[in-house]
Amino acid sequence: MRNENGLVELDSYNRPKVCEVCGGVMVFQGVGEYQCEECKAIAYDDYGKVRCYIEKHKGATAAEIEMGTGVKQRVIRNLLKEGRLEVAADSKVFMHCEICKKEIRTGRYCPECEKNYHRRVEEQQRLERSISMQGFGLGQEEATGEKRFRRER
Ligand SMILES: [Zn+2]
Ligand SMILES: [Zn+2]
């Protein structure tokens, strides 16, 4: 999604743009926090609200966070999937690995499944590389020493 300035809209997390107190411009301060450049009022986007709530209520469930912040559980789960939030170690965990369903604290996969995923991608890379090294591939090798090597043989 692009906004009126042609910039890619960074988030859909209800970013505060205008100060509710004085109508001033809200300036991004980091980690979901915004401050009015006029009256210095602080406001949070959904990410900031959830992050603050989790800091104060360690071990909160998604339902409790939704009740406390008004941020929808779907949005909370998205934040977790994007790795922007991490569930506290002592939390009643509400994230599950999308592959093996094991309980996780952030992201979409448990560390093992993530590693396995990367191993598969790497294996695929090796396969593609070995195919192109055998001369079936186009590009790169054509420009390098490959041709000369073949001629010498
Ligand atoms: Zn203000
Ligand atoms: Zn897993």
25 C-alpha to ligand 1 centroid (Å): 7
Q: What is the DSSP string of 59-73?
A: T--HHHHHHHH---H
Q: What is the DSSP string of 30-95?
A: ETTEEEETTT--EEE-HHHHHHHHHHHSTT--HHHHHHHH---HHHHHHHHHTTS----TTS---E
- pLDDT score, position 20: 94
Adjacent-strand bridge partners of 104: 95
Give domain status of residue 54, yes or no. Answer: yes
Distant-in-sequence, close-in-space partners of 29: CB < 8 Å, separation ≥ 6: 35
Residue 119 in any domain: the answer is yes
For residue 21, tell me if it sits in a domain.
no
Kindly tell me if the per-residue pLDDT of 90 is higher than 70.
Answer: no
Domain of 69, in residue numbers: 46-104
The whole-chain average pLDDT of the chain stands at: 80
pLDDT of residue 79: 85
**Regarding predicted confidence, which is higher, 59 or 5?**
59
* pLDDT for 1: 46
55 belongs to a structural domain: yes
User: What are 106-138's pLDDT values in tens digits?
Assistant: 788 889 999 999 999 999 999 999 888 876 555
For Cα atoms 17, 18, 23, give the angle at the middle one, nearest 5 degrees.
Answer: 170
Residue linked to tokens 């939030």:
85
Model pTM score: 0.59
Establish how many alpha carbons lie within 13 A of residue 49's alpha carbon, considering only the half-sphere containing its beta carbon: 21
Both 116 and 99 in a single domain? no
Same domain, 66 and 99: yes
> Residues 53, 91: one domain?
yes
User: In whole angstroms, what is the distance from residue 128 CA to residue 136 CA?
Assistant: 10
Per-residue pLDDT, averaged over 56-67, amounts to 86
| Together in a domain, 71 and 121 | no
Structural domain includes residue 35? no
Name residues with Cβ closer than 5 Å to ligand 2, which is an ion.
97, 99-100, 102, 110, 113
Tokens of 79: 């934040």
Which residue do the tokens 């809209």 mark? 9
Q: Separation of 79 CA from ligand 1 center, angstroms?
A: 27
125: in domain: yes
